[in-house]
Amino acid sequence: MKTFSAKAQEIDRKWHVIDAEGKILGQVAVAAARLLRGKHKPIFTSHIDSGDFVVIINADKVVLSGKKEQQKEYVSHSGYVGGKKVASVADVRANKPERLVEMAVKGMIPHNRLGRQIIKKLKVYTGAEHPHEAQNPVAFEVA
């Protein structure tokens, strides 16, 4: 018996749409990361980008569970002295609400060259409209 390894040319990519309205951020991010990575496919190979494209709509209406809406902070550092920046969920939601979903999904994929290739297949939009109707995306329901 031989071990199966998917080839990059053999991958059949589909498009999925996830409606995040009223859904918990973590559950939306888990579903999107799983589809982007390709773990739902029987031909999944860990070192090959075998995932699908994911479009997330209504990202501004995503919900955080517990007290995360008031307590969670996003911290970044420029590398310079005094370069620490702290943003609350309310700040991020006011400026760029799609960044909440993008950061959550990005944290769930590999942090290497493969992950940078995978994250390019994620498209996040704040409204219910998106410009990817020509690809015939399939609605994906988050549990």
Strands (E), 1-143: 15-19, 53-57, 73-77, 84-88, 122-124, 138-140
Pairwise CA distance, residues 49 & 44, whole Å: 9
* CA-CA-CA-CA torsion sign (143, 30, 129, 49): negative
Q: Specify the pLDDT at position 35.
A: 98
**pTM score, two decimals?**
0.93
pLDDT digits (tens, 9 = 90+) for 66-107: 999 999 999 999 999 999 999 999 999 999 999 999 999 999
Pairwise CA distance, residues 102 & 110, whole Å: 14
Average pLDDT, the chain: 96
Six token digits for residue 25: 């951020």
Pairwise CA distance, residues 58 & 101, whole Å: 10
Q: Specify the pLDDT at position 39.
A: 96
Pairwise CA distance, residues 84 & 61, whole Å: 28
Domains and CATH numbers, the chain: 13-64+97-140 (3.90.1180.10)
